[in-house]
Amino acid sequence: MAGQRIIGKKRSESTAFAVILFLSFLLIGVIALFFILINDAAAELTANVNHNHIKIDFFYHGSSVSVGGISEPDTDLIIKITSPEGHEVLKQKGKVAGLLWMNTGTLKFENVPNLYSVHSTKKIDELLYQEEMDKYAIGYPALEKHVEISPVSKEEEKNRWFNEFVKLKESSKLYMSSSGKITTTLKDGKQYYYILTDWPYQAPPGDYIVTVYAVKNRKITEKTDAKVQVEQVGIVKTLSNMAKKKGALYGVISIVAALIAGFGVGLIFRKGGGAH
């Protein structure tokens, strides 16, 4: 009897344990489901690039690229388009003998993208904390911290040359920034965003990355990215490859073509000008 009771007690204990176990699993399940649902809601951010394969042909004069997608309602958006980072060497102009402007040296820029454009729904410094901008290299001040310039001795000198660098890049449309150009519309509890940007013809062939950031309470809550590929095709590709890989042949063809053109025009003028 006593043994049975013990067993009975044990059984009731184990039932209680099973119930607790079940409940805790249920709880974990509910919590997990909750997070999954939240994550699902967060994973709503999508990005589509309509024209993601730009072909440079003979008549190419730049293009346009539109970026659009879905985001959570009431979030702000930042769209960043960049090329992979590289390094650039540029000539530095300075005063010589206190009077004449000329090249006084070279500056090396490390970790700089050749193309960098940032579009946002509002001004970036109103949208994000400084740390967030720095973390994701969004905006010129953040990019400046990310970039290394040598040789510069002081912070203000770096700042000055970085600003010159941006000016140079902006003059060839490779660096760009805008705010308020992204349109957003609410539909079925989702926010649809869209922007149409000019793609500069100065951007060389290569792969470019479009990153879309969703912003809430001055922090980035999610990001997603898409790719834009720029490629030379046809005659442009043939000539460009030949210039790079078969320099001697390319040189000879260029010279022969010039000689023939020169003689050809000379002959035409002899016939045409014979009357004089």
Chain residues binding other proteins by CB under 8 A are 56-62, 89-94, 96, 99-104, 106-107, 161, 164-165, 167-168, 171-172, 201-202, 204-205, 232, 235-237, 239-240, 243-244, 247-248, 250-255, 257-259, 261-267, 269-270, 273, 276
With beta carbons less than 8 A apart as the criterion, state whether 56 and 230 touch: yes
CA distances from 27 to 18, 39, 109 (A): 14, 18, 54
CB of 272 to other proteins, least distance (A): 9
Least Å distance between CB 126 and other proteins? 29
Return the number of the residue (3 or 272) whose C-beta is nearest other proteins.
272
Q: Rounded to an integer, what distance in angstroms lies between the CA atom of residue 210 and that of residue 197? A: 12
Q: Which is nearer to other proteins, 187 or 271 (CB)?
A: 271
Bridge partners, residue 193, by sequence? 69, 184
Q: Which amino acid is at 212?
A: V
Residue 80: CB minimum distance to other proteins, A: 23
| Residue whose entry in the numeric block shows the structure tokens 């960043």 | 80
CB of 194 to other proteins, least distance (A): 27
Is the bond into 151 cis (omega within 30 degrees of 0)? yes
Nearest-angstrom CA–CA distance, 265 and 251: 21
Helix (H) or strand (E) holding 242, with range, is helix 234-245
Strand (E) or helix (H) holding 109: strand 100-113
Instruction: For residue 147, give the DSSP letter.
Output: -
Cβ closest to other proteins, residue 206 vs residue 226: 206
8 Å CB contact between 183 and 146: no
Nearer to other proteins, 70 or 236 (CB): 236
Question: Which C-beta is closer to other proteins: that of 15 or that of 106?
Answer: 106
Tokens linked to 124: 């970036």
Nearer to other proteins, 23 or 96 (CB): 96
Minimum CB separation of residue 229 from other proteins in Å reads 16
Minimum Å gap between C-beta 53 and other proteins is 16
**Crossing angle of helices 234-245/247-273, nearest 10°?**
120
Least distance to other proteins, CB of residue 153, Å: 17
Q: Is the dihedral of CA 265, 271, 274, 275 positive or negative?
A: negative
Minimum CB distance to other proteins smaller for 93 or for 145: 93
